[in-house]
């Protein structure tokens, strides 16, 4: 909308004619007509009188508020859906731009800290380069810590502060600063022992209660899997992985793993990397083939929207994760990336290894 369009609309809201406005401003009605036809614009000296006559601010008259609102809406939309985009660098650039244009917005600053944490994990980090040599990693982690701390110390919104605190915990944990990570972890607030699901379970009946019970059961299994993944003692790796797989197979004995195929996929990737380090080609090929099958099952279920379990305990329960529902991320693409890491270099020219790689449809 042009300034002429705004003058016309505001004039009509005031029930003024072009002649009325012209008389108040000491100009001809032809001048007002030219403004409203977008042939000319008011002189700068008339902006003040126009705002008083029309009852608006100069920003509103000049359209600056509309532009800011549109820009804010753009950033808000990007923020709400940024986790869907499997492009951390783009997310980072948009978040950085949002912070530059709205420097006092703690939501955007927390968003920036999150994206800085995500892009810190470059190839050097994944290949095990010592911390002191990880220039990009340390630079982005320090930025994320600085921005997250600013949000935590200054934001009034409790959820936003807790989100920033969680980022601080993760940043210090992964940048090998355990004392600081523990300090922030001890600041994380205690949550009520009863969740909303616990409360709803008391009041729902019939099919609704059944579906919620199934959801809570799946969530509980995922909680066990998450805890098992936190063991850092290499001597316990095989034991924790065995227990994780046992839990999944016990819950899903018919092999229709759906959401749990994601966990089995990453379990096989980890096992394949260890087998590669040990030079066990047979195990590497078997484990990667398993990973490909689990990944294919998960991608198919997400793509087709057929996340319906078939075991009696979960029969009728449908899981659908919108994060993966629009093709932003596939395990096929993840497997190709994983097979490209240095650990598998000794097997890269092997025909069977190449056959698995070629069979992956992204």
pLDDT tens-digit readout, 234-292: 888 889 999 999 999 999 999 999 889 999 999 999 999 999 999 999 999 999 999 99
pLDDT at 196 > cutoff 80? no
pLDDT at 95 > cutoff 80? yes
CA distance 309 to 301: 11
pLDDT at 231 > cutoff 80? yes
pLDDT at 328: 55
Residue 272 tokens, joined: 């394949």
pLDDT at 82: 67
pLDDT at 193: 60
Domain covering 84-187 assigned CATH 1.20.120 in the classification: no
Q: In CATH, which of 3.40.50.300, 2.60.40.10, 3.90.1720.10, 1.10.260.40 is domain 3-62?
A: 1.10.260.40
Helix (H) or strand (E) holding 183: helix 178-187
pLDDT at 282: 95
Per-residue confidence at 351, pLDDT binned at 50, 70, 90?
A: very high
Per-residue confidence at 132, pLDDT binned at 50, 70, 90?
A: confident
> Comparing 10-24, 179-193, 329-343, which segment has the lowest mean pLDDT?
179-193
pLDDT at 108: 93
Q: How many helices (H) and strands (E) would you count in the chain?
A: 19, 0
CA distance 343 to 8: 69
**Cβ(91)–Cβ(121) below 8 Å:** no
pLDDT at 194: 62
Per-residue confidence at 306, pLDDT binned at 50, 70, 90?
A: low
Same topology between domain 3-62 and domain 84-187: no
Write down the domain spans for the chain.
3-62, 84-187, 197-359
pLDDT at 362: 62
Q: Hunting for tokens 């966990």 — which residue is that? A: 263
pLDDT at 77: 85
pLDDT at 322: 54
DSSP designation for 127: T
pLDDT at 195 > cutoff 90? no
Of all residues in the chain, what percent carry a pLDDT higher than 70? Answer: 91
> Comparing 79-83, 109-113, 351-355, which segment has the lowest mean pLDDT?
79-83
pLDDT at 140: 96
**Cβ(134)–Cβ(103) below 8 Å:** no
pLDDT at 150 > cutoff 60? yes
């Amino acid at each position: 909308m042009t300034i002429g369009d705004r003058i016309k609309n505001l004039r009509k809201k005031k029930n003024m004619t072009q002649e009325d406005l012209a008389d108040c401003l000491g100009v001809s009605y032809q001048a007002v007509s030219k403004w409203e036809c977008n042939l000319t614009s008011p002189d700068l000296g008339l902006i003040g009188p126009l705002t008083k006559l029309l009852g608006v601010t100069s920003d509103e008259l000049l359209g600056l508020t509309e532009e800011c609102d549109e820009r804010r809406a753009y950033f808000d939309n990007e923020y709400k859906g940024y986790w869907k985009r499997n492009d951390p660098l783009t997310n980072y650039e948009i978040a950085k731009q949002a912070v530059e244009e709205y420097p006092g917005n703690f939501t955007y600053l927390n968003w920036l800290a999150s994206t800085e944490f995500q892009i810190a994990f470059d190839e050097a980090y994944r290949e095990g380069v010592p911390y002191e040599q990880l220039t990009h990693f340390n630079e982005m982690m320090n930025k994320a810590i600085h921005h997250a701390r600013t949000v935590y110390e200054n934001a009034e919104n409790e959820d936003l502060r807790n989100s920033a605190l969680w980022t601080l915990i993760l940043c210090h944990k992964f940048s090998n600063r355990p004392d600081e990570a523990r300090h922030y972890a001890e600041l994380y607030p205690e949550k009520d022992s009863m969740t909303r699901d616990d409360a709803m379970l008391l009041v729902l009946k019939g099919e609704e209660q059944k579906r919620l019970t199934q959801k809570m059961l799946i969530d509980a299994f995922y909680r066990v899997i998450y805890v098992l993944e936190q063991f850092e003692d290499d001597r316990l790796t095989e034991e924790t992985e065995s227990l994780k797989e046992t839990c999944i197979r016990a819950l899903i004995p018919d092999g229709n793993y759906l959401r749990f195929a994601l966990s089995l996929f990453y379990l096989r990737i980890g096992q394949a990397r260890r087998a590669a380090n040990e030079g066990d080609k047979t195990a590497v090929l078997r484990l990667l083939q398993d990973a490909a099958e689990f990944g294919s099952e998960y991608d198919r279920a997400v793509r087709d929207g057929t996340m319906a379990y078939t075991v009696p305990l979960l029969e009728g329960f449908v899981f659908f994760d919108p994060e993966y529902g629009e093709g932003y991320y596939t395990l096929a693409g993840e497997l190709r990336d994983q097979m490209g890491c240095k650990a598998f270099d000794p097997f890269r020219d092997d025909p069977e290894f190449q056959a698995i790689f070629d069979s992956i449809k992204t």
